[in-house]
Each structure stands twice: as C-alpha cells, then as structure tokens.
Amino acid sequence: MEELRGSYRVHFGLALVLCGVDLLCMVSTWLPGEYTVPRWLVLGLSVAVFPVFAVAFIRSFITGAGVQLMGQSNATRFIRYVLVLPPALKLTYAFVICLAALGFATGTGAAEDVKADASGYYYTYWDKTADPQHSARVELTEPEYYEALKSQLRVFSAGGAVFHAFSSFLVLASASAAAGHARTAAERS
C-alpha cells in the first residue's frame, strides 16, 4: 500500500477510523441496560459520512478509478482489484460488512422513531386503515423505549460504518490509480 501518500493516506485513515468508531457505537447498542454512547456522537458520525464519502467519490472519478472499477462491464476488474488487496484489509472489509449486516438485521425490526414526553414513551405511525387517515400513537414502556432507541441508533451506526468503509476503499482505489498514472507518465519521459 505504498501508493497511499499525503492526502490519500490521511483520507484513508480518517475513513477507517470513523468506520471503527461507528462499529464501536453499534456494538455498544447490544450491551444490556441503557444506551451509554451519546446520541450526538452517533448523529455526528452519520453527518460525517457525507463529506468523507463525497470527497472519496469525487477523487475516484478524477483519477479514473471509479470508471475502471465500477459498472456492469467492470465486475471482473473489480474482483481482481479486491483480490490483490492485503489480507488484513480484506479481513477488515469482510468484518465490517458482516458486522454491519448483523446490525441492520437486528436493528430494523424495532427501530421505530421513538419519543418521550411528559405523558410517557411512545412512537407514532400513519394509520392508513382509518378513514380519514391519521397519525396514531403507540404507548411504550420504559424498557421498550430504550430498546427501540438502541435499535434506531444501531441502524444509524451500521449505515455509517458501511459508507465509511466504502469511502476508504474508494480512496485506496483512487490512490492506486493516481500512482499508476504517475508511473506511466514517468515511463513516457
């Protein structure tokens, strides 16, 4: 991975560190009791996905890596690129994908948009069976509220982890393409 230099190295490291923090936040939702990680951290990590991914996406198209690896006709090139990654990086990406899939699977069933007010814990949904349609309120107990809140934050964290991992992959592919362009230019001169 000697092609990771300068800003590519910083961007790659930032994306992987944010992915790791997302995974830690997600794993903490499986702990018993109340949720211990601050909600602002999970929401902040979810917002951080946008600039990190956007810059990685733009870099991939500037260097040509996005065109070379993504698309229907480039599946074999994509697979060959993944196969030449270092084993530790392959395991890292596989671990992130499996853990995020587990987070999505265990979080989506109970991830209602829960709320709390002076009258108690609840979530609302749009009742389409009533005429006229209206918003209905479902009361929750305190443990149900905390479980639903943890599920909701688990889904946010899993999504952020996947996007941060994909961002690091795009940065790595962009760095490889940029290094390939530099080697080609040096050979021509």
- Residue 165 has a pLDDT of 96
Note down the domain range covering 60. Answer: 7-110+148-188
Number of structural domains (the chain) is: 1
Whether 118 maps to a domain, the answer reads no
Percent of the chain residues past pLDDT 90, beyond the cut: 37
Across the range 25-38, mean pLDDT stands at: 85
The answer to whether the CB of 60 falls within 8 A of the CB of 126 is no
pLDDT higher than threshold 90 for residue 24: yes
Name beta bridge partners: 127: 134
Whether 71 maps to a domain, the answer reads yes
- Residue 53 has a pLDDT of 95
Sheet holding 114-117, edge to edge: 114-117, 120-127, 134-140
Confidence of residue 14 (pLDDT cuts 50, 70, 90): very high
Whether 76 maps to a domain, the answer reads yes
- Residue 125 has a pLDDT of 78
Mean pLDDT rounded to a whole number for the chain: 84
Q: Which two tokens stand for residue 36?
A: 């211990």
- Residue 111 has a pLDDT of 55
Whether 54 maps to a domain, the answer reads yes
Q: Which pLDDT tens digit goes with each residue over 117-169?
A: 777 888 777 778 877 888 887 888 888 888 888 888 899 899 999 999 999 99
Whether 27 maps to a domain, the answer reads yes
Nearest residue to 175 via CA among 2, 6, 8: 8
Whether 61 maps to a domain, the answer reads yes
Highest mean pLDDT of the ranges 49-53, 72-76, 136-140:
49-53
Q: Where are the beta strands (DSSP E) in 45-161?
A: 114-117, 120-127, 134-140
Q: Helices 7-28 and 142-188 meet at what angle, rounded to 10?
A: 160
Whether 90 maps to a domain, the answer reads yes
- Residue 161 has a pLDDT of 96
